[in-house]
């Protein structure tokens, strides 16, 4: 067993570029923390796959990150958080594992005034009922309205956040939730904040958008503080990015999204 230290990295994984929304929030809140991020770009999207396949991918991703001796693993994938968080926790053993669903559900209950909460996500996440279960665990009287938005992930991956097609698809997906009179909308996939502009334009200013990436960054800080693992030194290690396919394409999208020039992306096998 490797001894966890404050200098150890935080490991983060997702199916593609979506988890960079979590990376951005962690870097904003915890700029001293070394981060290792894996985007499984060869097998994106996860949300259309079967549960056994998702659980296998989760195990593959966790094993890859464990090679870097992380002090904490962040499952920045709602689909894995819904269907395979236990797989990651078992492999991680004594290393803390945080998923995005619990964080997002808690923030949604806190922010919703009338407890009418919309949830959008991949088909796998929505069909799992994980957000609905977690929201009801926190607030049993909440009304939850869910909608699968499978086209949002490829639109985000293709860099089409501001395209007219994205706005049309957002309207198609979200009108049903607006008719349910929601006052909070959970972005139940870490790709979706990339499309936040189109989503905001569709739902208007009366609906609070819940980004689980913001919530989980706070949970990470709390967990590391509790375990005396916060890195208090000045940042000296650049963000380490790993992908399973198309590193140059990933790098170009990531640089636009994070707003910084990035080192070369490492291509790895899973």
250: nearest Cα among 264, 270, 269: 264
Separation between Cα atoms, residue 63 and residue 11, nearest integer Å: 11
C-alpha closest to that of 128 among 109, 153, 105, 106: 105
Look at phi and psi of residue 95 and say left if phi exceeds 0, alpha if psi is from -120 to 50, else beta.
beta
Name beta bridge partners: 99: 75
Residues 218, 236: Cα–Cα separation, whole Å: 22
Cβ count near 94 (within 10 Å): 7
Task: Catalytic residue, from 77, 124, 126, 210: name it.
Answer: 77
* 77 tagged catalytic: yes
Set 95, 120, 189, 265: catalytic member: 189
Would residue 236 show up in a list of annotated catalytic residues for this protein? no
Which residues are the active-site residues? 77, 189
């Amino acid at each position: 067993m490797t001894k966890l230290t404050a200098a150890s990295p935080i490991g983060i994984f997702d199916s593609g570029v979506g988890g960079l929304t979590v990376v951005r929030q962690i870097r904003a809140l915890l700029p001293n923390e070394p981060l290792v991020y894996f985007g499984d770009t060869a097998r994106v999207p996860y949300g259309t796959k079967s549960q056994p396949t998702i659980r296998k991918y989760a195990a593959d991703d966790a094993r890859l990150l464990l090679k870097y001796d992380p002090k904490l693993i962040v499952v920045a994938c709602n689909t894995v958080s819904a269907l395979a968080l236990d797989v990651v926790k078992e492999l991680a053993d004594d290393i803390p594992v945080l998923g995005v669903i619990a964080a997002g559900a808690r923030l949604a209950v806190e922010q919703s005034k009338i407890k009418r909460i919309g949830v959008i996500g991949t088909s796998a996440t929505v069909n799992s009922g994980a957000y609905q279960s977690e929201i009801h665990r926190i607030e049993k009287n909440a009304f939850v309205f869910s909608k699968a938005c499978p086209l949002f992930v490829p639109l985000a991956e293709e860099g089409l956040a501001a395209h007219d097609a994205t706005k049309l698809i957002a309207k198609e997906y979200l009108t049903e939730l607006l008719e349910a009179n929601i006052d909070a909308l959970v972005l139940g996939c870490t790709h979706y904040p990339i499309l936040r502009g189109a989503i905001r334009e569709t739902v208007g200013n009366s609906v609070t958008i819940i980004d689980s990436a913001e919530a989980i960054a706070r949970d990470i800080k709390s967990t590391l503080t509790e375990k005396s693992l916060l890195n208090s030194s000045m940042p000296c290690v650049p963000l380490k990015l790993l992908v399973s396919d198309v590193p140059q394409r990933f790098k170009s999208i990531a640089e636009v999204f994070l707003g910084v020039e990035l080192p070369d992306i490492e291509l790895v096998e899973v």
